[in-house]
Amino acid sequence: MEVVVATAVVTLALVSFSQAGVLATRLLRNQKATLEATLLAQEGLEAVRMVRDASWADITWRTGLQNPSLRYYPVVENGIWVLATTSPGLVNGVYDRYVQFEKVGRDASDRIVASGGTDDSGTRRVIAHAVSAAGDIQITTYITDFQSFLLSITDVVAVAYTGAVTDDIGANFPSPNAGDGDPGQTFTTGSSQVEITRTALLLRRSTDLPSDVFVELRASPTGAVLGTSQIISGYTISTTTPAWVSFYFSPAVPVSPSTIYTIRLRSVPDSTIPGSGSAGFIYWEYRQTALSPYSGGIARRFIGRLANPADAGQPMDQYDFGFKAYAYP
């Protein structure tokens, strides 16, 4: 009898302990899931702020279609945050992350009212959601177009070749561990001195996870580096249709008038070094005609191949890659 009682007591104690442990672990997992969801929702709001900072009009049209708006999915595309209309799939395989916009009404004293009021075209309510099987984490905030009252700096296209239509592997970039070097395009600046703020290249990725890429503005294909852009994550580059991807130089690069410069597309890991781990492919759209399509410069490939920084690569007189060079007006 005593043995039975003792066993029961001990078992009961152990079962409660282990239950407490299981509960603690489950709570911790819940906490982790809630934190992940909250961070994703917050990131959604940051993405909205970034889109707002670039263009308020890009926010307002969404409530013009429907109020509250449809669901928009914040994703990084071609190196910038965009609010996509179609779902990119579950984030981390778990969370459905989207934002919605609502119009904001104000009363006679300019206070925001829950319903009714006069529509304030310069304010929107944003609700970010991160939905998983465990629930829906929502964060609500207001955004305004205060940036439009501040001095904003814009840039304009200084030099460009936009006729590139051929979409293929031409430059073998980023070369998968082969050390095949980088592609480049030379161009001639206009007659006035300008500061190059960015270059936009017409790119498309042909594989899921190509290496990350950046642009160097150089005096010549292997010459001095005048400016280095931010790195664009390879997987964010458009895969269906070629898109203009902007590579910004900060600070802007001053260039001399009527001078030839080189845009060199590079990768991380380095496409010029054999075995570096670089992975393809990103297509830089080009065009070939008997007479060079763009008279101010030519395309090159295999620059710096096989870890030789002095190798200016193969000049391709009949080819030009699609590019735009922007400058302060």
Residues that bind another protein (CB under 8 A): 2-3, 7, 10-11, 14-15, 17-18, 21-22, 24-25, 28-29, 31-32, 35-36, 39-40, 42-43, 46-47, 49-51, 53-54, 76, 79-81, 153-155, 197-198, 212, 228, 230-231, 233, 246, 248, 250, 268
CA-atom Rg of the chain in angstroms: 27
Residue 187 β-bridge partners: 261
Cβ 263 to another protein, closest distance in Å?
Answer: 17
Question: Which residues, listed in sequence order, are joined to residue 98 by a DSSP beta bridge?
Answer: 129
Determine the Cα–Cα distance for residues 159 and 280; give it in Å rounded to an integer.
Answer: 28
* Residue with Cβ nearer another protein (53 or 167): 53
Instruction: Give the nearest distance from C-beta 12 to another protein in angstroms.
Output: 11
Per the CB < 8 A criterion, the answer to whether 243 and 78 are in contact is yes
Which pair of structure tokens corresponds to residue 82?
């965009």
* C-beta of 80 vs 219, nearer to another protein: 80
Provide the minimum distance between the beta carbon of 250 and another protein in the complex, in angstroms, as a whole number.
7
In three-state secondary structure terms, 304 is coil
- Cβ at position 307, least distance to another protein in Å: 19
Comparing CB distances to another protein, the nearer of 10 and 169 is 10
Q: Which is nearer to another protein, 31 or 289 (CB)?
A: 31
Q: Coil, helix or strand for 104?
A: strand
Q: Between 41 and 164, whose beta carbon lies closer to another protein?
A: 41
CA 218 to chain centre: 24
Smallest separation (angstroms) from another protein to the CB of 225: 12
Q: Distance between CA atoms of 25 and 19, rounded to whole angstroms?
A: 10
Q: What is the distance between the alpha carbons of residues 288 and 290, in angstroms, rounded to a whole number?
A: 7
